């Protein structure tokens, strides 16, 4: 069914049946329930704090011995927040937090080359996200601090980090 057919179907439905279908979707699909729960009670700060805890636990685990250091954990939360419509300022905060925690982890552990490439991708994504949402100035200091850490610790791909920063000069 295409969007046009769905719109026609929904406009032809009596209000009572439409309400029943929405309630059915809410009860059957956790994603729909989560969306409506967020729309009517958007506890954004709580969601952000949970994501930050999850990210920290990925690099500095509380219950297990070895860190997993997977970028995908943060990326999953970020994509979820964007889909829900969480305020861009809060999404950017999580994106930068992920990089900051990863840098702390890198300074204490020996990490593989893929780790640096992954962090470069995260760095590019946060800059792109901030530019798209017009919030680059709000986070410029944190971005520069992350970049300075990359330079000070002689990370691989430092030149690529530098090129990613060129967007700030334009």
pLDDT tens across 90-143, in order?
A: 999 999 999 999 999 998 888 899 999 999 999 999 999 999 999 999 999 999
- pTM for the complete prediction? 0.83
Q: Are residues 159 and 79 in the same domain?
A: yes
Q: Are residues 35 and 46 in the same domain?
A: no
Q: Are residues 24 and 62 in the same domain?
A: no
What mean pLDDT is predicted for residues 73-86?
91
The pLDDT of residue 68 is 87
Residue 56: band (very low, low, confident or very high) from pLDDT cuts 50, 70, 90: very high
- Which structure tokens are listed for 166? 């060129």
Closest CA to 57 of 31, 43, 77: 77
**What domain range includes position 105?**
42-169
The CATH number linked to 156 is: 1.25.40
CB 129 within 8 A of CB 104: no
* Rounded Cα–Cα distance for residues 134 and 160 (Å): 23
Q: Are residues 127 and 85 in the same domain?
A: yes
Q: Are residues 34 and 97 in the same domain?
A: no
Domain count, the chain: 2
Q: Are residues 109 and 66 in the same domain?
A: yes
pLDDT tens across 64-76, in order?
A: 888 888 889 899 9
């Amino acid at each position: 069914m295409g969007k046009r057919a769905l719109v026609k179907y929904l406009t032809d439905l009596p209000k009572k049946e439409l309400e029943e279908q929405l309630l059915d979707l809410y009860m059957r699909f956790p994603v729909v329930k989560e969306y409506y729960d967020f729309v009517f009670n958007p506890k954004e700060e709580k969601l952000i704090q949970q994501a930050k805890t999850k990210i920290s636990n990925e690099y500095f685990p509380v219950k297990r011995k070895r860190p997993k250091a997977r970028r995908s954990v943060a990326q999953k939360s970020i994509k979820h927040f964007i889909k829900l419509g969480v305020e861009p300022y809060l999404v950017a905060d999580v994106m930068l937090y992920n990089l900051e925690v990863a840098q702390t982890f890198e300074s204490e552990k020996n990490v593989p080359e893929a780790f640096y490439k992954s962090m470069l991708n995260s760095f590019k994504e946060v800059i792109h996200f901030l530019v798209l949402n017009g919030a680059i100035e709000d986070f410029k200091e944190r971005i520069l601090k992350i970049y300075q850490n990359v330079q000070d610790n002689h990370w691989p791909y430092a030149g690529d980090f530098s090129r990613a920063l060129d967007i700030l000069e334009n």
